[in-house]
Amino acid sequence: MKATNFNLSEYLARIGYEGAVSNDLATLEKLVAKQLQSVPFENTEVQSGRIPSLIPEDIYTKIVTNARGGYCYEVNGLFAMALTEIGFEWYFVGARPMFYPARRPKTHMVVVVRIEGKDYLCDTGFGGYALRAPIAIEEGEVTQDGDRFRLELIDGEYVLNSLVQEEWQRQYGFALQPQEWIEFSLANYFNATHPDTIFTQKRLAVMQTPNGRMILVDNELKLIEEGRLEKLEVDYERALKEYFALELF
């Protein structure tokens, strides 16, 4: 994944990354954490009636130059550009969201990174109760900054679960089958236009903090810090600016 206008120094400054980078696990973990805490998962462009561009140069300009966020294809796409520049071995994978009441197509996109022969699931673009760091792709449970996650292998696919308010919730399922970037163009159109997707139904903004996360859905803001949940009724536009540094399109 490359963009002609990609600049690694500018990207690292955008996410607040300081220090050297290398294609190792320590760098990967820091990249994921820094991007999750600086680039919001948001759908303001979809809510404005637009279909987000998947042209790599447009994604870079939107998120890095214009300091906005985006949804999975955009933020994970940008993340993949950085991985390419640093020299990581990686590939895209399609994932099936599992928080809908009915079975859905694989419209989510994640990144699998291979380091010293081991595969890691990386996701900077799921929102909600998503991963906070890379996770080794193997069955088992991990804790990340106090949040608990579990991978299960079910019918040949891995399923990511998050512990939310003391209950395990399935987030999405995926198989280790590499996908080309172009394969996500239809999913992008579907998510941006179909009336049954959460992106057309709800105004969303999600960003992680060092000890929790902020989740804005329409006029409800959830502030989660060290496991403590505070719900606030807010003005969406004002909260978008105050908590996520975003203006409406």
pLDDT confidence of 176, banded at 50, 70, 90?
very high
Assigned token pair, 176: 């280790």
Q: How confident is the model over 154-158, as a mean pLDDT? A: 94
Assigned token pair, 83: 């991985």
pLDDT confidence of 223, banded at 50, 70, 90?
very high
Q: How confident is the model over 153-168, as a mean pLDDT? A: 93
CA triplet 57, 69, 138: central angle to 5 degrees? 95
pLDDT in tens, 76-94: 999 999 999 999 999 999 9
* Backbone angles phi and psi of 93, in degrees to 5: -140, 140
C-alpha 154/C-alpha 152 separation (Å) is 6
Share of the chain above pLDDT 90, in %: 92
- pLDDT at residue number 128: 86
Architecture category of domain 8-195 in CATH: 2-Layer Sandwich (3.30)
- pLDDT at residue number 155: 92
- pLDDT at residue number 89: 98
pLDDT in tens, 126-143: 988 999 999 999 999 999
CB 98 within 8 A of CB 107: no
Per the model's pLDDT, the better-predicted residue between 3 and 103 turns out to be 3
CB 95 within 8 A of CB 106: yes
Give Dmax (Cα) for the chain: 48
pLDDT surpassing 90 at residue 166: no
- pLDDT at residue number 100: 77
Q: How confident is the model over 38-61, as a mean pLDDT? A: 98
Mean pLDDT, the chain, as a whole number?
96
For the stretch 197-203, contacts whose Cβ atoms lie closer than 8 Å and that sit 24 or more positions apart, written own/partner, are 197/107, 199/43, 199/46, 199/47, 199/71, 200/46, 200/47, 202/43, 203/43, 203/44, 203/47, 203/236
Share of the chain above pLDDT 70, in %: 100
